[in-house]
Amino acid sequence: MIVRLLALALLLPVLFLAHDRIPLSGVPQQPDANPPRWGANSASWHRIVAGPLPGLWADQAILEIFNIYNVAKDKPSTERPQWWHLLSYQLHRALTLDPRFRDAYRLTEGLLAYEPGFSLDAVDILEHNARDAESGEYLLVASFLAHQDLHDDARAIRLASMAASKEDTSLLAAGFAARLIQRGKGCAAAIAFLQQRKRLLPEKYAGGIEKKIERLKQDPACNPEPAADMPETQAMPPSWLRGEASQS
């Protein structure tokens, strides 16, 4: 009996040691030099692997994003793109498996979109899933990004008109597009819009938007006057469609 108890007492530290050494989270400490890119066959492959539980695998992709972001947020700028490619891959995966998943849309517009160099990817994801998104607010953000970051006004108008076709943003999208694309008023409107979006994310995930606001405020071309240009955005009615994130 004593020998068995001793053996158990000796084995317990081994378990703790192993727990420390084995990466249980599934997130690599360093991403591959060539992180996976979302390709033509990726969607089919992931749909097959998900079997009869596509929703659950989409949820798992979101948890994976939280893990990646927690590791990646403090990395130096030279290492960040590799991590953000991983994050983008998981967002593609989540929306492929569940095209109506609002958490994935919120993270696409809230995390991916404000990382330098990834705005185009975020707009592509949002536009690709435009038909399935139940709310127009994400298309509105895509329209904003197309105008503000990509300087592609044609695409911004197209996205705003897609948002206008959704019931919850029809009036807002029309006014938003008109104001946003109006030259000379874009900057204050952009800051007001970003501040409104920032409130919808948990504080720990809002770093990207905050940096973007700071960049805009420091831009000499930008007029940092109070954002009276965006009454429609400020007046967005609180509803479950655009409620603050549950973690905030």
Partner 1 sequence: MNDIAALIRLTLRELLHQRAYILLTAVALLIPWLLIIPMSLFLIDLGKVLSDMLFAAEHVLLSCFLFFIAAPLMARDIEQKVCHLLLTVPLKRSRYIIARFGGTALAILPMLLLFLLSSCAALEVVAHFWPVYVKAGIGLSFLLGGGMLLLPYLSLLGLLYLISTASSGGAETLVFLLSAWLLSWSVPPVLAALQQPEVNAKIPDWISALITAIDHILPHLSSGRLALDIAHQHIPPGIQLGAYTLEHLAYMLITLILAIMIFERRDLT
**Interaction of residue 52 with partner 1, rule CB under 8 A:** yes
Q: Does residue 240 belong to the site contacting partner 1 (CB under 8 A)?
A: yes
Residue 63 binds to partner 1 (criterion: CB under 8 A) = yes
Per-residue mark of binding to partner 1, 106-145 (x: CB under 8 A): xx--------------------------------------
Q: Site for partner 1 (CB under 8 A): which residue of 56, 171, 178, 228?
A: 56
Provide the minimum distance between the beta carbon of 206 and partner 1 in the complex, in angstroms, as a whole number: 12
Does 70 participate in binding partner 1 (rule CB under 8 A)? no
Given candidates 6, 53, 171, 178, which one binds partner 1 under the rule CB under 8 A? 53
Cβ closest to partner 1, residue 96 vs residue 148: 96
Judged by CB under 8 A, which of 31, 38, 58, 80 binds partner 1?
A: 58
DSSP per residue, the chain: -HHHHHHHHHHHHHHHHHHHHS--S---SS--SS-----TTHHHHHHHHHTT-HHHHHHHHHHHHHHHHHHHTTS-TTTHHHHHHHHHHHHHHHHHH-TT-HHHHHHIIIIITTSTT-HHHHHHHHHHTTTT-S-SHHHHHHHHHHHHTS--HHHHHHHHHHHHTSGGGHHHHHHHHHHHTSTTSHHHHHHHHHHHHHTTS-GGG-HHHHHHHHHHHH-TTS-----TT-HHHHTPPP-GGGPPPTT-
Tell whether residue 216 is a contact of partner 1 (CB under 8 A): no
User: What residue ranges bind partner 1 (CB under 8 A)?
Assistant: 40-41, 43-45, 47-48, 50-56, 58-59, 62-63, 66, 98, 100-103, 106-107, 201-202, 240, 243, 245-247
